[in-house]
């Protein structure tokens, strides 16, 4: 039997925020690696052995749901020592530097073991088990953490990443429907015995994104290393040699709950971006400014060149153009982005959304109008682009997103609307009462039908986005006790463990000043939650 221990860790004040150089490196490369500063070799060895026994236990069980019961989501209860990694000062400081204070550990996680098959390149789905909830953020809103309890080298199945790939993606729409996952090659199954052929398939999958000179890197690391990456980094698990020792990787991810604060004057200096890939400089510059809480408009010269780039079919050129247009305060830039939003090309619409998202208040009305478009691909992007703190002061924007979430037919639109309400909920001046009621109502009374059974787990992607939004709200605002009681009820009763734990996290942040409640909730979060998802709830 594995003992439960419920240590309540107290976050120490951040000592060593990431240096500006390292932050910039993260914004370009999309990842960095750190060594936990207070862990010993014995602790890493212990986490290796624990991983081995858990995989053995899973193998013995031969059940259809070991991924839900054993290898995923319950790791903090089954292997309590993993908290040494999650709460190590170096890890906490790095995550705090990237995601701000009060970041939250997402309740979905997994213990990976490499094997002789290869994964193809992919971006992890932004909802558990490769489901899709919203457009990828581009901002440091989400981070993944890969922990390796043993050394990783060319023999035992390293993770391979594509450096600087986190701002790009592939199209996913299938008419009005969509692919839930972002595999670069959706037909790749990793099983071709001819290794040269397999390697060619992997490279071709990556080539299909249409961007030249991508930078593939195997992540070889010493024992105990942690990779912290943008959630959207393209990566894959590579094969191990047949007789190598087991290689484990504990995967977790984290989310931001607070908007960056305006920094001291010295940060308003824009660093030299000349060393990074050219197409990424505008994105990195915008992210830098956003993270430091300031904004300087960009001069654009060749708007016709940017127009052609945005309307074209090269993902890296579209994203570059969208950011340059987004950072300019000219009308011509706005008009180009709006035209892009209504384009027939999915990639152009998506890129335009990022540009419009930067513009904020001046384009709010245009985005509200686009929410009513008869092209669902335009509506979804408009819902996403409205999701910034700048929209909080527009009552129309908030109620347009609210009625979208309430009554639109398209699940991906509703899910994006919920996600955006979460971004708006970070604003000091948002309508807390309205948002709380609307989000809670969406979660109560089975208002959302289950719309996926992926990973053998019936649940609603929209509900998961609504829970995320409620977490953003409660992390930033005090609410009446009557609201908290409704949230407690949902957290205790919801059949979706991700909804439930995100709500517990929201209660924990909301009751930070009360050590009794926060210790109790923190214990509940760590506790193994639900042995099996309730299969009778296919409402």
Minimum separation from the CB atom of position 163 to ligand AKG (A): 15
Helix (H) or strand (E) holding 173: strand 173-174
149 in Cβ contact with 47 (< 8 Å) = yes
What are the φ/ψ torsions at residue 450 (nearest 5 degrees)? -60, 135
450 in Cβ contact with 460 (< 8 Å) = yes
Minimum separation from the CB atom of position 329 to ligand AKG (A): 40
Minimum separation from the CB atom of position 153 to ligand AKG (A): 13
What CA–CA distance (Å, rounded) separates 366 from 147? 44
Q: Which is nearer to Fe ion, 129 or 178 (CB)?
A: 129
Minimum separation from the CB atom of position 181 to Fe ion (A): 10
Name the binder of 36 from ligand AKG, Fe ion, none, CB < 5-8 A by kind. none
Q: Which is nearer to Fe ion, 96 or 238 (CB)?
A: 238
Which range in 111-119, 170-178, 265-273, 531-539 contacts ligand AKG by CB under 6 A? 111-119
Q: Which residues of 297-333 are buried (b: 16+ CB within 10 A; e: fewer)?
A: ebebeebeebbebbbeebbbbbbbbbbbbbbbeeeeb
Q: Does 134 bind ligand AKG (CB under 6 A)?
A: no
Q: Does 159 bind ligand AKG (CB under 6 A)?
A: yes
What CA–CA distance (Å, rounded) separates 196 from 10? 50
User: Which of positions 462-481 make contact with Fe ion (CB under 5 A)?
Assistant: none
Strand partners of residue 182: 123
Q: Does 226 bind ligand AKG (CB under 6 A)?
A: no
Minimum separation from the CB atom of position 114 to Fe ion (A): 12
What CA–CA distance (Å, rounded) separates 234 from 30? 9
Which range in 35-43, 123-131, 216-224, 303-311 contacts Fe ion by CB under 5 A? 123-131
Token duo for residue 429: 């001046």
User: Which of positions 244-263 make contact with ligand AKG (CB under 6 A)?
Assistant: 249
Minimum separation from the CB atom of position 71 to ligand AKG (A): 11
What CA–CA distance (Å, rounded) separates 427 from 390? 8
Q: Which is nearer to ligand AKG, 212 or 242 (CB)?
A: 242
Which residue stretches of 109-222 are H helix? 195-207
Q: Does 235 bind ligand AKG (CB under 6 A)?
A: yes
Token duo for residue 195: 């290794």
296 in Cβ contact with 290 (< 8 Å) = no
500 in Cβ contact with 529 (< 8 Å) = yes
- DSSP collapsed to 3 states, 458-497: CECHHHHHHHHHHHHHHHHCCCCHHHHHHHHHHHHHCCCH
Q: Which is nearer to ligand AKG, 130 or 394 (CB)?
A: 130
Options 29, 73, 124, 286; binder of Fe ion; rule CB under 5 A: 124
Which range in 32-40, 122-130, 264-272, 381-389 contacts Fe ion by CB under 5 A? 122-130
Q: 355: how many CB neighbours lie within 10 A of its CB? A: 31
Tokens 């971004």, located at residue: 423
Q: Does 55 bind ligand AKG (CB under 6 A)?
A: no
Name the binder of 334 from Fe ion, ligand AKG, none, CB < 5-8 A by kind. none
Q: Which is nearer to ligand AKG, 108 or 357 (CB)?
A: 108
Name the binder of 249 from ligand AKG, Fe ion, none, CB < 5-8 A by kind. ligand AKG
Q: Which is nearer to ligand AKG, 237 or 458 (CB)?
A: 237
Q: Give the total of residues touching ligand AKG (CB under 6 A).
A: 8
Closest residue to bound ligand AKG by CB: 237
Q: Does 118 bind Fe ion (CB under 5 A)?
A: no
Name the binder of 458 from ligand AKG, Fe ion, none, CB < 5-8 A by kind. none
Q: Which is nearer to ligand AKG, 182 or 494 (CB)?
A: 182
Q: Which is nearer to Fe ion, 124 or 505 (CB)?
A: 124
What CA–CA distance (Å, rounded) separates 203 from 307? 31
Name the binder of 408 from ligand AKG, Fe ion, none, CB < 5-8 A by kind. none
Q: Which residues of 476-507 are buried (b: 16+ CB within 10 A; e: fewer)?
A: bbebeeebbebbeebbeebbbbbbbbbbbbbb
Options 112, 292, 317, 497; binder of ligand AKG; rule CB under 6 A: 112
Q: What is the torsion angle, in degrees rounded to the nearest 10, for the CA atoms of residue 378, residue 381, residue 387 and residue 392?
A: -10
272 CB burial (10 A radius; 0-12, 13-18, 19+): exposed
Minimum separation from the CB atom of position 155 to ligand AKG (A): 14
User: Which of positions 277-306 make contact with ligand AKG (CB under 6 A)?
Assistant: none
Strand partners of residue 477: none
109 in Cβ contact with 476 (< 8 Å) = no
Q: Does 44 bind ligand AKG (CB under 6 A)?
A: no
Which range in 112-120, 309-317, 461-469, 482-490 contacts ligand AKG by CB under 6 A? 112-120
Q: Does 182 bind ligand AKG (CB under 6 A)?
A: no
Residues of this chain that bind Fe ion (CB under 5 A): 124
- By the criterion CB under 6 A, which residues form the site for ligand AKG? 112, 114, 119, 124, 159, 235, 237, 249
């Amino acid at each position: 039997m594995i003992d439960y221990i419920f240590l309540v860790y107290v976050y120490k004040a951040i000592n060593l925020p990431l240096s500006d150089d390292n932050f910039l490196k993260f914004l370009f490369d999309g990842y960095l690696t750190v060594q936990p500063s207070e862990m010993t070799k014995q602790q890493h060895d212990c986490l290796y052995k624990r991983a081995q026994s858990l995989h053995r236990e899973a193998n013995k069980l031969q059940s259809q749901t070991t991924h839900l019961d054993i290898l995923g989501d319950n790791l903090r209860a089954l292997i309590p020592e993993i908290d040494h990694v999650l709460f190590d000062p170096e890890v906490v400081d790095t995550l705090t530097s990237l995601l701000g204070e009060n970041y939250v550990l997402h309740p979905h996680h997994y213990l990976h073991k490499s094997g002789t098959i290869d994964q193809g390149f992919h971006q992890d789905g932004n909802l558990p088990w490769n489901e899709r909830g919203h457009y990828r953020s581009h901002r440091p809103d989400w981070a993944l953490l890969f922990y390796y309890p043993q050394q990783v080298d060319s023999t035992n199945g390293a993770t391979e990443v594509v450096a600087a790939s986190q701002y790009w993606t592939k199209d996913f729409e299938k008419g009005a429907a969509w692919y839930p996952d972002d595999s670069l090659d959706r037909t790749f199954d990793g099983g071709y015995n001819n290794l040269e052929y397999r390697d060619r398939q992997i490279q071709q999958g990556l080539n299909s994104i249409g961007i030249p000179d991508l930078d593939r890197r195997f992540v070889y690391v010493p024992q105990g290393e942690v990779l912290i990456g943008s959630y959207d980094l393209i990566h894959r698990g590579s094969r191990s040699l047949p007789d190598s020792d087991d290689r484990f990787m504990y995967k977790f991810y984290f989310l931001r709950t607070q908007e960056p604060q305006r920094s001291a004057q010295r940060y308003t200096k824009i660093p030299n971006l000349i060393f990074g890939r050219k197409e990424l400089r505008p994105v990195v510059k915008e992210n830098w400014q956003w993270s430091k809480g300031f904004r300087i408009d960009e001069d654009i010269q060749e708007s016709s060149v940017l127009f052609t780039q945005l309307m074209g079919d090269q993902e890296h050129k579209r994203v570059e153009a969208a950011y340059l247009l987004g950072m300019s305060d000219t009308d011509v830039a706005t008009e180009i982005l709006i035209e892009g939003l209504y384009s027939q090309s999915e990639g152009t619409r998506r890129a335009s959304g990022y540009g419009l998202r930067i513009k904020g208040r001046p384009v709010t009305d245009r985005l509200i109008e686009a929410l009513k478009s008869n092209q669902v691909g335009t509506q979804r992007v408009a819902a996403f682009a409205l999701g910034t703190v700048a929209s909080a002061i527009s009552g129309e924007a908030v109620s347009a997103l609210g009625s979208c979430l309430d009554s639109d037919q398209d699940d991906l639109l509703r899910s994006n609307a919920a996600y955006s309400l979460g971004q708006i909920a970070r604003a000091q001046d948002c309508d807390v009462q309205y948002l709380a009621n609307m989000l809670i109502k969406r979660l109560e009374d089975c208002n959302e039908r289950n719309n996926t059974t992926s990973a053998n787990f019936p649940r609603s992607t929209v509900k998961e986005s609504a829970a995320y939004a409620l977490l953003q709200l409660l992390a930033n605002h005090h609410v009446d006790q009557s609201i908290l009681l409704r949230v407690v009820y949902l957290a205790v009763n919801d059949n979706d463990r991700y909804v439930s734990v995100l709500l517990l996290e929201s209660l924990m942040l909301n009751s930070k000043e009360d050590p009794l409640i926060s210790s109790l909730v923190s214990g509940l979060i760590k506790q193994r939650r639900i042995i099996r998802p309730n299969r009778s709830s296919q409402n």
